[in-house]
């Protein structure tokens, strides 16, 4: 009888510990959600999430397709991207235009050319000027656009691709 009572007490204590640990995890999770919500709210008000953007407003209509074009697509499910890529040759210089452009904010984004969607043969064009708006970048004259037909927007710190466009 004593042994059955001891086993019951041990079983009760184990269940109590499991419940307490579960409640603690739930409390930590809810605290994290509240904290991140408050932090994001403060950052948005102070402009940290939506930093000042450079918007290129060219005299010509950059939505007209030039020599090459492509549509931007997101690679990661948590990254929003939209926009068009146009490459035009102006007086012997290849210029990459981003039009109607938007991407989830990240201060470490760069624009690169690549021979594959996986990022082989990367050539960095420049740091992203902003996460919203029309922008233009000069492509180095030694780049072969028949080989480097992918435009990748990459995180330069994490070295991972966030968005891509295939030139056609």
pLDDT tens-digit series, residues 108-141: 999 999 999 998 999 999 999 988 889 999 999 9
Q: Is the pTM of this model over 0.85?
A: no
Q: In angstroms, rounded to a whole number, what is the distance separating the alpha carbons of residues 79 and 7?
A: 53
Span 51-57, mean pLDDT?
47
Cα radius of gyration (the chain): 25
Helix, strand or coil, per DSSP, at residue 61: coil
Confidence of residue 44 (pLDDT cuts 50, 70, 90): very low
Neighbours of 102 (CB within 10 A): 15
Question: What DSSP element (H or E) covers 103?
Answer: strand 93-103
Confidence of residue 59 (pLDDT cuts 50, 70, 90): very low
Q: What HEC string does 110-121 produce?
A: EEEEECCCCCCC
- Residue 77 confidence (pLDDT): 87
**Averaged pLDDT of the chain:** 80
Q: In angstroms, rounded to a whole number, what is the distance separating the alpha carbons of residues 75 and 20?
A: 40
Confidence of residue 37 (pLDDT cuts 50, 70, 90): low
Confidence of residue 38 (pLDDT cuts 50, 70, 90): low
- Evaluate if residue 32 carries a pLDDT over 60: yes
Contact between residue 16 and residue 22 where contact means Cβ atoms under 8 Å apart: no
Q: In angstroms, rounded to a whole number, what is the distance separating the alpha carbons of residues 106 and 139?
A: 22
Q: In angstroms, rounded to a whole number, what is the distance separating the alpha carbons of residues 154 and 147?
A: 19
Q: In angstroms, rounded to a whole number, what is the distance separating the alpha carbons of residues 26 and 20?
A: 10
Contact between residue 125 and residue 44 where contact means Cβ atoms under 8 Å apart: no
Span 57-68, mean pLDDT?
49
Contact between residue 139 and residue 105 where contact means Cβ atoms under 8 Å apart: no
More confident residue, 13 or 48: 13
Helix, strand or coil, per DSSP, at residue 99: strand
């Amino acid at each position: 009888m004593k042994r059955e009572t001891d086993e019951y007490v041990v079983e009760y204590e184990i269940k109590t510990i499991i419940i307490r640990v579960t409640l603690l995890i739930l409390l930590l999770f809810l605290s994290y959600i509240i904290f991140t919500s408050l932090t994001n709210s403060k950052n948005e008000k102070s402009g940290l999430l939506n930093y000042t953007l450079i918007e290129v407003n060219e005299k010509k209509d950059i939505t007209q397709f030039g020599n090459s074009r492509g549509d931007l697509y997101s690679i990661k499910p948590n990254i929003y991207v939209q926009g068009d890529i146009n490459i035009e040759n102006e007086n012997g210089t290849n210029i990459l235009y981003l039009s109607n452009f938007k991407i989830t904010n990240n201060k470490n984004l760069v624009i690169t050319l690549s021979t594959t969607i996986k990022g082989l043969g990367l050539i960095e064009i420049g740091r992203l000027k902003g996460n919203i708006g029309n922008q233009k970048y000069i492509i180095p004259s030694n780049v072969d656009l028949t080989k480097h037909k992918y435009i990748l927007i990459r995180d330069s710190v994490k070295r991972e691709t966030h968005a891509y466009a295939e030139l056609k």
